[in-house]
A and B are shown apart, each in its own frame.
Chain A
């Protein structure tokens, strides 16, 4: 044998990857990041199976409509499915952030995490990356797979009546995947300040992080309404929660999005609200990093 094994000590030590491992660690701790969207997907598919018996009649009725309404009627369940999964992911991301810097202080494990050569910057950024970078691709895969399985269910059910192809014709999965992908990027960027705020509050609060996050905007809105009888704060909050689509899609002619020409990324990225939001998100994250440095176990 002329191949001598290389002694362990001569192997170069693998260079540490604190960010990567910190993200992994967050996913280990918060399995709901992928389990919750999967459960919602399962419920949707179960519902699709249960209601499959009525599908042939409904589809025949839909085929009577003019092309635009038919398309909307057939697409609707797929869009509802996507919407439910996206909303679930938002709730999961929000509650994840509310616990991210609070849980480790409450269970005192912050003393262990801080005994390792991982900076507060790396830790907080890894936590912020969960709702903004990790959740969207998970949601994307779950949405596309769910819609694909829904198509399969409807095809199987409609096969005898010869209407199987109408699902595929009216719900173009490939095109809808592109729309989903785009939407998820838009939503993640638009909601970034909400997640940053939740992260900041989870670093500040000694208990009841949800109240800490929700009360200030609510109190401010109530104060404004009572004092000035205006509701700018409230519309600001509403716009931040639900307004991502206003600039990102062209919805002037229809309520549904079934053409790629309706995507208006140029307009979205030119919206001042996006950039103002991102500046706030950055400020909240910087604040959270400082808190992580100063705060110890509760």
Chain B
């Protein structure tokens, strides 16, 4: 089943193209990570999916048009857009009452169970909680909603490492059941590498990479080149090369793994390595094209 389907999705702010004819398809049961530099169009894409912004083109989320039917859609979609968007003046117990009062798929007992594992006091106001506790509270609410799609936009930004680890652990152990779909954007790429089933890079409003994590692992190889084989390795056209402790590290796309293994140590790159390689290259080409235009 398809959770999200977009054709020619486009969003323009004044003269800036935030989304440029995006073609997107997310199937049920996937955990998709959307990675991109600031201003790449990630949040715009998520806002379109969540019915927070109007767009051109065709977009269906769980069979609905998000912009026209946001309130209906939100029965089956949860999202944490940014950390700390919970109203600061509200009391924890009132917040739970409110969500229980408006959301048909909220299981209050479940939320209480999650909260019992934290140090959050029901009588506290949100402003009295630490940033990490606010994130825990929001997650407890979201996990108690029986949604089909969960969207997380930088859910752990600014949290310390303990909370961040806990956040994804809870999500995988207590929430994800293989039926739900999760979309997450984050700059802390290394934390989600083992969580994701699918990966997408987005830059300048365009999707520049889209693959499953299995494809990612079979397609990309990082080689720490033996000094004797540097020239030979270069001839295989690495997509990126960097230096570490005086040795060359090259990133290859769809190059035969045993062939590379003969020239040094191979391993699967981290998402961050690939991201830097691809975005770094595009930043360089952008720069070059700008210089050319200037001339």
**Least CB separation from A9: chain B residue:** B107
Contact of A118 with B71 at beta-carbon distance under 8 Å, contacts A107-B88, A112-B87 already known: yes
Beta-carbon contact of B102 and A28 below 8 Å? no
Cα A24 to Cα B79 in complex, Å, equals 23
User: Is residue A13 contacting chain B, with contact meaning CB distance below 8 A?
Assistant: yes
Complex interface residues of chain A between 103 and 140 (CB less than 8 A to chain B):
104, 107-120, 122
Beta-carbon contact of A296 and B98 below 8 Å? no
Q: Which of B70, B75, B87, B99 contacts A29 (CB 8 A)?
A: B87
Contact of A29 with B90 at beta-carbon distance under 8 Å, contacts A116-B103, A117-B104, A118-B102 already known: yes
**Least CB separation from A30: chain B residue:** B89
Residues from chain B with a CB closer than 8 A to the CB of A111 are: 52, 81-82, 85
The chain A residues found within 8 Å of chain B, CB to CB, are 8, 13, 15-18, 20-22, 24-25, 28-29, 104, 107-120, 122, 293-294, 296-297
Beta-carbon contact of B86 and A117 below 8 Å? no
Cα A297 to Cα B80 in complex, Å, equals 14
Contact of A115 with B81 at beta-carbon distance under 8 Å, contacts A21-B98, A296-B47 already known: yes
Complex interface residues of chain B between 71 and 109 (CB less than 8 A to chain A):
71-75, 77-82, 84-91, 94, 97-99, 101-104, 109
Residues from chain A with a CB closer than 8 A to the CB of B85 are: 108-112, 297
Interface centre among B50, B71, B97, B109 (most CB of A within 10 A): B71
Interface centre among A13, A117, A297 (most CB of B within 10 A): A117
Cα A28 to Cα B82 in complex, Å, equals 24
User: Is residue B230 contacting chain A, with contact meaning CB distance below 8 A?
Assistant: no
User: Is residue B276 contacting chain A, with contact meaning CB distance below 8 A?
Assistant: no
User: Is residue B54 contacting chain A, with contact meaning CB distance below 8 A?
Assistant: yes
Q: Which of A29, A109, A117, A293 contacts B74 (CB 8 A)?
A: A117
User: Is residue B53 contacting chain A, with contact meaning CB distance below 8 A?
Assistant: yes
B contact residues, total (Cβ < 8 Å): 36
Cα A120 to Cα B71 in complex, Å, equals 8
Beta-carbon contact of A20 and B101 below 8 Å? yes
Complex interface residues of chain B between 23 and 53 (CB less than 8 A to chain A):
47, 50-53
Beta-carbon contact of B101 and A17 below 8 Å? yes
Cα A111 to Cα B152 in complex, Å, equals 12
Beta-carbon contact of B89 and A116 below 8 Å? no
Cα A104 to Cα B89 in complex, Å, equals 11
Cα A107 to Cα B97 in complex, Å, equals 21
Beta-carbon contact of B98 and A15 below 8 Å? no
Beta-carbon contact of A294 and B54 below 8 Å? yes
Residues from chain B with a CB closer than 8 A to the CB of A294 are: 54
